[in-house]
Amino acid sequence: MVRHVMLGVVVLLWSGAGADPPQTPYESVDETLPPLRAMIERYSADRRNLSRFYDAPMSARRFERHQGFLRGWQYGLDEVDFDSLSRDGRVDYILFRNELRYELRALEHERARHEQLADLIPFADTIVALQERRRQLEPIDPEHVAVVISELADAVEETRKLVTAALDANDENGENGENDENGENGENDENGENDENDENDQETPGYEIAVSNRAAKMLDRLRSTLKSWYGFYSGYDPLFSWWVAEPYDKADTELEDYAAFVRKRLVGIEDDDDDTIIGDPVGRDELLTRLKHEMIPYTPEQLLAIAERELAWCRKEMLRASNDLGFDDDWRSALDHVKDQHVGPGEQAQLVHDLAWEAVEFIESRELVTVPELCKETWRMEMMSPERQKVAPYFLGGEVIRVAFPTDAMAHEDKRMSMRGNNIHFARATVHHELIPGHHLQGYMTRRYRTHRRTFSTPFWGEGWALYWEMLLWDLDFPESPENRVGMLFWRTHRCARIIFSLSFHLRLMDAQECIEFLIENVGHERNNATAEVRRSVSGDYGPLYQAAYMLGGLQLRAMHRDLVESGQMTNREFHDAVLRNNSIPIEMTRAAITDQPLTRDFESNWLFYGDVKVDTP
């Protein structure tokens, strides 16, 4: 086994895409650890080194080095004697194989997205080459570098002129139809989605809004990279400063101006526009790739069908609560009634404190999960800024719970929306999600058990666990009043809606504004809060499956609970402790780790946790 493990690390130096990896080990892994754990910890540490060193965006060398690194680890993993591994080792093997396969595919996806920017950023290679030579500590000729930087500034200026000319030509020829002065294309809406039959979009794909917005962000990154490169030499080498200072200032200005130009003319926003939502749909094929990585054997269309079923259950329960409150079937009036039950200014922190300890007492009195004393002692609270609330209008949690509530600087209407959106009953349904038994307990345990598996961290486990507890606490009669039930149902409905609007957006079935209206109409969000939810979901800061992971991960854990706890095979505490101690991994592998399920080297996801879902699939 030691020989196999050493082969796994030998190949780290292998960076040639088709070459045979070297067969002589140059160093070993930590032999005090189980073999697969040692490999994974070594892989994770080495990959972080590579990422820090090859940090130039749009770098072909970075792509090739990472590709060779990943293929090398695949070779090393193939050499491991799977049958001799413990059950824990087999789980690690399958997780590692799944991760390597996905990361190689993700590299290709990233490269394809970069290629879409080539027409708008044809000069990127110049900046990349400068940064990579700096990383290699190659000597430079300041006089020659000054010429390179001067030509870079000229190239940026020339690119802007070419793009301007193309836009002007399209305007003169009337090809842009409804274009306004900001250069928005044809039938494009503010989210950048294109009518697939729009002739102009087919002729000028580089000017599609989502791609243009990605180009503007990349220009910011390239400018930052150039600034870092310049700062390394400037002042330290007087001759460098003498030659390069002036052309660098010009190049920096050209990059800044060009990024602003792309945002204004191609995307249709100003540099200081924090309100417009610009999304970037990934498409069905990419969703399928990511679902395979998450070990979810359903199609996007099947997941939408699951969400619709769960949404229907939520609506039925919401109508029951509405009738109990005396509003008959007018669930929106019942929701308004609950939203108006909020604390006053300055009182939210105490409310959150009280709700946190209420949840701890509830789960401990029922022996649902082990909560270490230090975990209970060390969680902290911070208040969220108005700027942060634009993208996160509700609580965020972990060891630190970040509380959303109005500040004195907010506009009056924004204050009202924030107070209503963070009312007592909504808060009661989410504080335990963020702290204990939710994210804080998760983080505490994943930093202490099978820590090497954090490499495989997934929101289906991370967010799914916290959402699962909302389901379990509902089943255990945690809501004590109809208002409590409305609060819990609001969030559960919200999780169903997240699947629907986020997957529909990435399948190009909804645009951003339609997503916002969907949340307002079907969940009952305040408009500001619905807008913030959509912004955080489609702007690229979260993966395309992240919002769907809450409910779907919760349903996976609920199916496991039904099979293992309700059947009498495990107690609640045994089950929940086992889930936490296997760390944040795809939930199908959590299931494999704590059951007697057979595991083979070529294991593939096949667990239909929601049963067979019939839909018409493209």
Structure tokens at 349: 């922190």
- CA 353 vs. chain centroid, Å, equals 29
Domain locations along the chain: 2-115, 137-267, 287-594
Read off the pTM.
0.87
Nearest partner of 364 among 428, 447, 425, 441, judged by Cα: 441
For 391-445, what is each residue's pLDDT tens digit?
777 778 889 999 888 888 888 888 888 888 889 999 999 899 999 999 999 999 9
Nearest partner of 548 among 563, 559, 538, judged by Cα: 538
Give the whole-angstrom CA distance, residue 376 versus residue 123: 54
Nearest partner of 469 among 430, 424, 497, judged by Cα: 430
Residues of the chain with pLDDT under 50: 1-26, 175-206
Q: Is 121:215 a contact under the CB 8 Å cutoff?
A: yes
Q: Is 17:67 a contact under the CB 8 Å cutoff?
A: yes
Q: Is 207:165 a contact under the CB 8 Å cutoff?
A: no
DSSP state of 20: P
Conformation bin of residue 344: beta by default, left when phi > 0, alpha when psi is -120 to 50:
beta
Angle (CA) 162-163-165 rounded to 5° is: 65
Give the whole-angstrom CA distance, residue 96 versus residue 36: 9
DSSP state of 396: B
For 508-566, what is each residue's pLDDT tens digit?
999 999 999 999 999 988 888 889 889 888 887 889 999 999 999 999 999 999 999 99
Give the whole-angstrom CA distance, residue 396 versus residue 431: 9
Tell me how crowded residue 426 is: count the other CB atoms within 10 A of its CB: 24
Tell me how crowded residue 123 is: count the other CB atoms within 10 A of its CB: 20
Residue whose tokens read 């030579």: 133
C-alpha separations of 212 from 120, 183, 259 in Å? 8, 11, 10
Q: How many residues does the chain have?
A: 618
Q: What is the DSSP code string of 95-140? A: HHHHHHHHHHHHHHHHHHHHHTTTTT-TTHHHHHHHHHHHHTT---
Give the whole-angstrom CA distance, residue 216 versus residue 255: 10
Give the whole-angstrom CA distance, residue 198 versus residue 500: 26
What pLDDT score does 52 carry?
96
| Sign of the torsion angle spanned by Cα atoms 41, 46, 52, 58 | negative
Q: Is 582:465 a contact under the CB 8 Å cutoff?
A: no
Q: What is the DSSP code string of 311-348? A: HHHHHHHHHHHHHHTT-TT-HHHHHHHHHT--PPTT-H
Give the whole-angstrom CA distance, residue 412 versus residue 417: 9
Q: Is 494:435 a contact under the CB 8 Å cutoff?
A: no
Angle (CA) 92-603-109 rounded to 5° is: 80
SS3 485: helix
What pLDDT score does 27 carry?
56
Q: Is 267:273 a contact under the CB 8 Å cutoff?
A: no
Calculate Rg over the CA atoms of the chain.
27
Give the whole-angstrom CA distance, residue 50 versus residue 479: 49
What pLDDT score does 179 carry?
41
- CA 576 vs. chain centroid, Å, equals 25
Angle (CA) 107-111-115 rounded to 5° is: 170
Give the whole-angstrom CA distance, residue 411 versus residue 450: 47
Q: Is 457:582 a contact under the CB 8 Å cutoff?
A: no
What pLDDT score does 5 carry?
37
Q: Is 337:323 a contact under the CB 8 Å cutoff?
A: no
| Sign of the torsion angle spanned by Cα atoms 242, 247, 248, 253 | positive
DSSP state of 384: P
C-alpha separations of 477 from 110, 324, 482, 557, 617 in Å? 47, 16, 11, 19, 38
Q: What are phi and psi of 565, to 5 degrees?
A: -100, -50
Q: Is 405:418 a contact under the CB 8 Å cutoff?
A: yes
Give the whole-angstrom CA distance, residue 526 versus residue 422: 11
Angle (CA) 576-578-582 rounded to 5° is: 120
C-alpha separations of 277 from 198, 338, 410, 449, 500 in Å? 22, 29, 21, 40, 18
Angle (CA) 185-501-434 rounded to 5° is: 125
Using the CB atoms, write b or e for 76-113: b if 16+ within 10 Å: bbeebebeebeeebbbbbbbbbbbbebbbebbeeeeeb
What pLDDT score does 51 carry?
96
